[in-house]
Structure formats: C-alpha cells, structure tokens
Amino acid sequence: MGLSLNKLLASGNLVENPAVWIHLSKMSAFMKSINFLILTIFIFLVPEPAEGEKIYSCEKSNTVIGTVKTYRTKAGESLIEIARKFGLGYNEIVDANPAFDPFVPGNDVTVTIPSSWILPHVRTYEGIVINLSELRLYYFFKQKRTFKVMTFPIGTGSEGFDTPVGEFRVFEKIAGPAWYVPESIRKEKPDLPRVMPPGPDNPLGSHALRLSLKTILIHGTNKPWGVGRGVSHGCIRLYPEDIPKLFRLVTIGMRVTIVRQPVKMGIRKSNVYVEVHKDGETKDGDYYKEALSLLMKQDLRGNVSTGKLSRAIEKKQGMPVDISK
C-alpha cells in the first residue's frame, strides 16, 4: 500500500524524510504539483531553531559571540576529535593550539577551545554569511524582533577549485541528494559511476542546498575530517550532524553572502577585539593594513594598543583577542 501524503505530513520530519521525495516522484504530474505545493507550504515556513541549539544574540554594538574555553584531553583523543565535539573545524583547533600535535596531543593536557567569534563585517545580518578565511558559516535570523545567529564550521574549495565570493541565493533544497560526478573528477578517478545514489559513500552527505550559482552546493559530507580545511572542488561542506539543522532552517530564496575576511574587528562591553586567520591569499603586510582600515571605519583606533594588535596579527590564532588600551 502506498504511503499517503497525510501520513508523511503527520510524521513531523518532512525535510529529512526521503520517503517524501520518493512518494512525490511516483505521482501523476497534476497530483505531484498539487501535493508539492502543499508540501512546500509546510517546509518553507520560516522555522524556529530547535531547543538546545546554540543561539547567540548579535548587535552592531556587541559583535563578539561565544566564550573561549579549555578542555583536558583523554587518552587517545586527537585534536580533530575534540574539534568536532565542540563544533569546531580542524583549522580552528590547530591554530588555537600550535604547541600540540593535532593527532597525538597527549593525555590529560589542557587545550584551548576557541568557541568565540567576531561576526563577519557585512551590510546587514541576513541569511547565510560564509567567511572563507575562517572556514565558518553564520546563519542570521530574527527572533522576537532581535537578531540571532547560529554558526557552523565548514570545509571549502581547494587550491585551483576556489569557492567563489559574492552574493547568491538558495536555489534548491535536496534531501538525500544523488551525486552527479563531474567529468573532471571522473578523469581523476575513472572507477567512479556517473551518478552516485544517496548513501554512506555519497560525498554530498544527507542534505544539500544548491545556490543560484548552480555549480556550488552547501552540503554534508561522508568525510568529516575535511571540515576546517580546503579540500572540496568549490562546494561548502558541513559536519553530518550540522547539515540537517541548517537544512531545516533555510528557505528557498534566502540570501547567501560569501566573503574572504582574514581580519575581523569587534566590540564587547566597550573593549576592542581582533580575530586574525591564516589565509593563503593574504600577504603578511596586508593583515596589518586591513586591521588599520577596519579600526578607521569603526572609529576605534584611539582605543587600541598597537603592541597588542601586532602580537595578535603575528600569532594568527583565529580567535578574538582583546587589543584595548
């Protein structure tokens, strides 16, 4: 007996239920359009984040979110495992702990958890903002008339397959995406099929968001170690546990702004903070120029210690540093 749309709607988990999309594919064209319209109304109403998800308030006068913490390692733990436990990418945990071996940091040692960030510099807090320099995605939304933000680590394009910067829109949402293997990849790996169906071997993971630049997707991954690195052919990867959360919240047409900001400047309780990330496209002298430019734009130069700023730029530890006088 076929699965009815009413039962699917009653399941309460439409977006993440592949049976919904299978059911739609078997309908007549007319019934498919009617039921798809009903389904779209349910799916794309702007939903609230689930209880327990980390949500931060954001305002122009207070642009530093989260808190830097410490953690004592357990036997056999790598920094890569610790990063995922705390919602961080490989780059963040390694840059914040340069003295430790990422794979064998040691047992019962204290590592820094850089779970604090300066919000990217954008025209408006709206939709998705991706900062390629820090390998992190921000999702902005309004809740009870105040701006809120959730943030996730990401993997991006590798050298020669750079993820483009610019303003885009979410064009399509795909649950259980099939991977249509590009010819360039099939030349590298001729054993790959032309189309890889959904499943544990699919590099797109469980969900995908296609952008208006249609060759670029925001998707999950079957290789979580790539989060926090430039390893893709231009797409943006999230941890398997993060992509369903973002997928549920995003709506068709939502703005996606992709920037490259190796230096960010922020304010918390009248103190000035800088966050500096290692970026292969930025020369050493340009970090300082960018920092000074941001201080001038925000009229903060008189409140800053140039010595603290220079040390923060030199270390490039990828987390907010107080540079106030």
Active site residues: 219, 235
Phi, psi (5° rounding) for residue 192? -70, 145
Q: Compute CA distances 309 → 8, 81, 269, 295, 313, whole Å.
A: 55, 31, 18, 11, 6
Q: Compute CA distances 286 → 19, 167, 261, 303, whole Å.
A: 51, 24, 11, 21
Instruction: Let me know if 66 is exposed, middle or buried by CB neighbors in 10 A (0-12, 13-18, 19+).
Output: middle
- In angstroms, the CA 214 to CA 164 distance is 12
Tokens of 220: 């999950």
**Residue 4: partners with Cβ closer than 8 Å, 6 or more residues away:** none
Cβ(80)–Cβ(111) under 8 Å? no
- In angstroms, the CA 222 to CA 228 distance is 14
How many other C-beta atoms are found inside a 10 Å radius of the C-beta of residue 304? Answer: 19
